[in-house]
Amino acid sequence: MTRFVGCIDIHNNQVKQIVGGTLKELEEERSSLKTNFVSEKPSSYYAQLYKQNGVTGTHVIKLGPNNDEAAMEALKAAPRFLQVGGGINDTNCEKWLKYADKVIVTSWLFDKDGHFLIERLQKLANLCGKEHLVVDLSCRKTKSSSWIVAMNKWQTLTNLELNSKTFEELSKYTNEFLIHAADVEGLCNGIDEQLVSQLYQWTSQLDSKIKIVYAGGAKSIDDLQLVDKLSHGKVDLTYGSALDIFGGKLVKFQDCCKWNATH
């Protein structure tokens, strides 16, 4: 059964909701960043809110550098309840796991040209344990209708394509995947239904304990039912900009919590 999963996105040490495809690496390009919401509340407020409502699997994402303080504040407010991602590598993963339930890794699994390095994933799995490691396979759709993993704030396409073989190979080292649909992230124009359906097709043969979490474009409480139908209950759904706790007017946080309680 599809469940609601939460997120706490941190940019410049503030909780924000942004349009995913507008994140940039270089300082001079950051004027193009589109922000949907900037919170006046600290990250710890959201951490406690998710914990009090039992929203397991909630992820704290550091969007760029200089976000460690706010991320750690959230983790310490709900010890070993949240996941954390953004800049995770072999030198810092164990530090974050003192307070996080899991660490999320993306860009460090690739070289600067976007070539996937399986040995890095193997190293992290050995350091953290596969049960404490989430692989972020956030992606963009190409003209050839394939989905390619994107890194560096989703600006750089890698050489890793989403398909059954990819999930089968990587599931040897992790029991959870997070997939942001970067093209629709933060737009509140609806989920990528085709991608959600494909996620089921690609992962249906994997061990039932392996979690798949989709994020991007959710705009209605009915999207939980839609994802449940499209993925046969295999894929969980993250809401961001649409939620009332992030200034959205489309989805009530408590309605999402009720879904989890009744399904």
What's the CATH code of the domain at 9? 3.20.20.70
> 207 burial class (0-12, 13-18, 19+ CB within 10 angstroms)?
exposed
DSSP state of 162: P
Provide the number of structural domains found in the chain.
Answer: 1
Domain that holds residue 95: 4-262
Report the pLDDT value the prediction gives residue 36, as an integer from 0 to 100. 84
- Give the mean model confidence (pLDDT) for residues 8-33: 69
Sheet containing strand 59-62, edge to edge, reads 4-5, 235-238, 211-215, 176-180, 133-136, 102-105, 83-85, 59-62, 7-11, 14-18, 35-38
Mapped onto helix, strand or coil, the DSSP state of residue 258 is: helix
pLDDT at 29 over 60: no
pLDDT digits (tens, 9 = 90+) for 70-81: 999 999 999 999
DSSP assignment of 90-125: TTTHHHHTTT-SEEEE-GGGB-TT--B-HHHHHHHH
Report the pLDDT value the prediction gives residue 188, as an integer from 0 to 100. 80
Report the pLDDT value the prediction gives residue 173, as an integer from 0 to 100. 99
Q: How many helices (H) and strands (E) does the chain have?
A: 8, 14
